[in-house]
Structure 1
């Protein structure tokens, strides 16, 4: 069972994310690790837990990395890697967090806490995208490439499908709804860009993509409206009318 450090991912909120973005640091080098006192794995891990509990993530990373380096097969090795993921995440070290997660999944494909690692992988990719931070402050950046969002969606979908009884599944499902809307909104931003430049076929195709792939999002009717007006501009009246009638039907059956 993951200890309280692993479980603390449930308590991650925007305010913590905002603070951590200002405290980004790279992974500790060998000199940093060598400066860590020469203690037993148990003693070092106790120090690391206290440091992590205090929110001193950079120092916690040094201690955990020292344990990982000195005792790679010790009794705390798996928990150390999970705690490193959390510390890197909180410090904004998304690439280090992803590397640690991927290494853990590769070396421990049947580990009992694999659900936690997929959950954290989704959170790390969301943070890497940075849209959660920007939208928190009312900055609309849905026009950014949504690749990281798609990867996060895949991570959390994997969690829900493979581990439906996981403690992390309910939160993953809530985040999947947000990610689905994020991806749909990105496609509509691109569609609007094309429409405003009179590239009506490209705009219609983007709207169609939302209808076909993100029909469960809250942007379905907006996508149908984009198709309707784009087809109308192209003189494709039958397709325009089909999109219109589908939009009206959806509106009535919400």
Structure 2
């Protein structure tokens, strides 16, 4: 009897063991199937399992979108904060590059001139082949163009000859570089208009200095300033006066042959048809902003100048 009971227990144990083995195998097969077909898993991977580059790109995109939204809403302070955060966290990639350009714009709108220029220069240096490189040069020109100016400069017409023209010269050069390198750029036409404006502002500044030297008896310095205008600002509205001052300086220095040559240049270009010394009043009256390129540039760009009504 004992042996029969033992046999029964052994039989039950054997069946239980076999059942456990099959259950274990079935569980292993299911686990393997799920692992091998992870694409069928309906809930996706955990964040920790994402490709780091993809995860970073998605985070950069969200941060850029937030910053761009502030920019569109003209919240430049908020935009600057978010773009700076984007640049510090994700310094490389497409969002970082676009963010740099928009950060420079936000700086510019907040009158943070030096930070705007630093950002633009860094972008140009690091991304010389970027599709928006022409915009970077254009923005650099705009920022330099407005450097040192404030709201009062646009409301009250102030004589720019009392100011340092360095930033105007830099802007003139940057716009010229943009036109030379990217003549088909969508920003080229606006850059040309700004160069017309700047050319006349700079020429007027030089003319003021030339007149100052004439009044002080520094005739060589006055002649050099007048020649500088003629050589560097062709087409400027002050050209007749510059030629007049040059002739006056040569006469004061006793260099009559050069004075005669200068007079002939004036007569050929401005049709005085008179002998002797050029009439300064005629030279001044021969200037007009209204119908000139300067006047058209002022109207188009909605700018003001001390020299034109």
Check whether TM > 0.5: yes
Corresponding residue for residue 98 of structure 1: 117
Corresponding residue for residue 243 of structure 2: 224
1:199 aligns with 2:211: no
TM-score normalised to structure 1 length = 0.79
How much has 1:175 moved relative to structure 2? 0.5
How much has 1:132 moved relative to structure 2? 8.9
1:40 alignment partner, SS class: helix
For 1:229 and 1:132, locate their aligned partners in 2 and report how far apart those are by CA, in whole Å: 39
> Tell me, which stretches of 5 or more residues in structure 1 are unaligned?
1-38
1:69 aligns with 2:88: yes
For 1:245 and 1:161, locate their aligned partners in 2 and report how far apart those are by CA, in whole Å: 34
Name which of 160, 163, 167 aligns with 1:144. 163
Alignment of 1:32-43 (within 5 A): 40-43=59-62
Corresponding residue for residue 170 of structure 1: 189
Corresponding residue for residue 118 of structure 1: 137
TM-score normalised to structure 2 length = 0.66
Corresponding residue for residue 153 of structure 1: 172
> Tell me, which stretches of 5 or more residues in structure 2 are unaligned?
1-57, 273-285, 287-309
For 1:85 and 1:201, locate their aligned partners in 2 and report how far apart those are by CA, in whole Å: 44
8 Å Cα contact 2:226/2:243 also seen in 1: yes
8 Å Cα contact 1:81/1:100 also seen in 2: yes
How much has 1:244 moved relative to structure 2? 2.1
Q: 1:166 to 1:140 in 2, by over 3 A?
A: same
Name which of 71, 86, 97 aligns with 1:52. 71
Corresponding residue for residue 102 of structure 2: 83
Q: Root-mean-square deviation (CA), in Å?
A: 2.0
How many residue pairs match? The answer is: 216
CA-to-aligned-CA distance 1:154-201 (integer Å, 9 cap, x gap): 111111011111000000011111111122112111111111111111
How much has 1:133 moved relative to structure 2? 5.8
How much has 1:214 moved relative to structure 2? 1.3
Corresponding residue for residue 256 of structure 2: 237
8 Å Cα contact 2:160/2:201 also seen in 1: no
Corresponding residue for residue 281 of structure 2: none
Q: 1:123 to 1:141 in 2, by over 3 A?
A: same
1:246 aligns with 2:265: yes
How much has 1:52 moved relative to structure 2? 1.0
CA-to-aligned-CA distance 1:21-48 (integer Å, 9 cap, x gap): xxxxxxxxxxxxxxxxxx9322222221
How much has 1:251 moved relative to structure 2? 1.4
For 1:113 and 1:65, locate their aligned partners in 2 and report how far apart those are by CA, in whole Å: 20
CA-to-aligned-CA distance 1:221-246 (integer Å, 9 cap, x gap): 11101111222222222222222221
2:160 alignment partner, SS class: coil
For 2:210 and 2:148, locate their aligned partners in 1 and report how far apart those are by CA, in whole Å: 21
8 Å Cα contact 2:214/2:249 also seen in 1: yes
How much has 1:129 moved relative to structure 2? 4.0
1:182 aligns with 2:198: no
8 Å Cα contact 2:161/2:204 also seen in 1: yes
